[in-house]
Amino acid sequence: MQFGIFTVGDIAPDPTTGYTQSEAERISNMVRIAQRADEVGLDVFAVGEHHNPPFVPSSPTTLLAHIAALTQRIMLSTSVTLMTTNDPVKIAEDYAMLQHVAKGRLDLMVGRGNTVPVYPWFGKDIRQGVALALENYNLLHRLWREDVVDWEGSFRTPLQGFTSTPRPLDDVPPFVWHGSIRTPEIAEQAAFYGNGYFANHILAPNLHFKPLVDFYRERFEHYGHGTKEQAIVGLGGQSFIARRSQDAVQAFRPYFENYPLFRGSSLDDYMTQTPLSVGSPQEVIDKTLTFREGFGDYQRQLFTVDSMALPVEVALEQIELLGTEVVPVLRKEMASRRAPGVPAAPTHADLITAKYGDAEPRQPRPNPNRGDNLSGASPYQDSDPAVAASFPMAV
């Protein structure tokens, strides 16, 4: 099972000192956080995408490419990549490039995203949010699997003879998770493709998302990708750890109570009623194990640890505690409880084996420049010459 952290890259004044990080500081702090997560052996670092202050990560692939160069083994991911306001063609290109430079240490989570004004800023209609996410992913899926794509949909300009470059690393697309907290259509799409399904899980009552996770599991089985127990499920979580329980609560309380999202809420209610874990390593371990009891065996657990104006030193210490005291125990406990036949979330190496077995992966080599993608069977040398490109109907 994979354990990691996810961040939205928010900035807020530290309630204990009044200090507000600059964007420059927050960005370099996020890099430090990712590096530390790699050093302590966490499996995943995921970053969100936002296009408004006080968030900094508007360009996740740039940030993740930099982190890829500075880390050794941690898997990089997103939480989430906006499938509604981004052009799926650009997502296909950007994340394929990132997958190459990260040497396959990449998957991504796609979702609708959140704030209302972002839609009109990018020329989209929020009322079409679900349809946008669904259609755009359908196109992305093809762009990563077909060298040449002819396509027409409702939202973006049609494509004729389009090749998304570079082709995915080893011609194996990054694994995709679909993130959703309320929309069965998104869970259905994840199930249809045999992709992963991620429930953010935090900011809602314990087990609130179970019906949607169960729905995804059932549909995953329906589409023949495996049994429902074998479906690929990820969950979010939020933790604040100190060696002594009361120290954790005391240190975390001002950050919780002053954060805009939680103003007027009670920390104690959040601790008992939601997946938020504040306490000793053992308390965080115990609470996280209840997620498995509720949702069944799952593949990925992400914690948010650097949000809510926590100073970077505190966030780094949280990662240290998570990586050294919590996750090692969780790995063992989760493994011992795991039902036989439940797969891990696929890595790039797993996907290569699934596609090629022992054979060498395909390495697409372009044909000499023809100035277009239309004259010839394929833009790549290894294509079947018998396959002809399909042209638009002459009118």
The residue range among 36-44, 180-188, 230-238, 317-325 that interacts with another protein, by the rule CB under 8 A, is 180-188
Q: Please identify, among the stretches 10-18, 108-116, 179-187, 310-318, the one whose residues bind another protein according to the rule CB under 8 A.
A: 179-187
SS3 category, 152 = coil
Least distance in angstroms from the C-beta of 330 to another protein: 26
Residue 135 found at the interface with another protein (CB under 8 A): yes
Of 37 and 212, which has the nearer Cβ to another protein? 212
Out of 35, 81, 189, 280, point to the residue binding another protein (CB under 8 A): 189
Are 315 and 33 in contact by the 8 Å Cβ rule? The answer is: yes
Is 138 a residue that touches another protein (CB under 8 A)?
A: yes
Compare residues 144 and 380 and give the one whose CB is closer to another protein. Answer: 144
Near another protein in 203-232, by CB under 8 A: 203-205, 208, 211-212, 214-215, 218-219, 222
108 phi and psi angles, rounded to 5 deg: -145, 155
Residues 332-361 that bind another protein (CB under 8 A): none
> In the complex, what is the shortest distance from the CB of residue 387 to another protein, in angstroms, rounded to a whole number?
21
Residue 268 binds another protein (CB under 8 A) = no
Considering only residues 94-113, where is the footprint of another protein by CB under 8 A?
none
Which residue stretch of 16-24, 35-43, 184-192, 387-395 sits at the interface with another protein (rule: CB under 8 A)?
184-192
Please choose, out of 1-9, 241-249, 261-269, 344-352, the segment that lies near another protein by the rule CB under 8 A.
Answer: 261-269
* 125 binds another protein per the rule CB under 8 A: no
| 290 is a contact residue toward another protein (CB under 8 A) | no
Alpha helices in the chain (DSSP H): 23-39, 60-70, 88-101, 118-121, 129-143, 184-193, 210-222, 245-258, 267-273, 281-295, 312-321, 327-337, 348-356
Give yes or no for residue 188 binding another protein (CB under 8 A): yes
The minimum distance between CB 92 and another protein, in angstroms, equals: 17
Place of tokens 């640890």: 305
Residue of 68, 70, 76, 78 whose CA lies nearest to 101: 68
User: CA nearest 133: which of 156, 108, 111, 155?
Assistant: 111
Distance CA 73, CA 154 (A): 40
Burial of 348 from C-beta contacts in 10 A (0-12 / 13-18 / 19+): buried
Q: How far is the CB of 205 from another protein (least distance, A)?
A: 6
Verify binding: residue 307, another protein, rule CB under 8 A: no
Residue among 150 and 317 whose Cβ is closer to another protein:
150
Shortest Å, Cβ 318 to another protein: 23
What would the two tokens of residue 262 be? 């939680």
Stretch that binds another protein, among 44-52, 95-103, 188-196, 344-352 (CB under 8 A): 188-196
Which residue has tokens 């063992």? 332
Backbone angles phi, psi at 265, to 5 degrees: -95, 165
298 CB-near residues (< 8 Å, 6+ apart): 1, 233, 234, 235, 291, 292
Q: Are 194 and 307 in contact (CB under 8 A)?
A: no
Coil, strand or helix at 344: coil
Q: Where along the sequence are the contacts to another protein (CB under 8 A)?
A: 130-131, 134-135, 138, 153, 182-186, 188-189, 192-193, 203-205, 208, 211-212, 214-215, 218-219, 222, 262-266, 269-270, 273
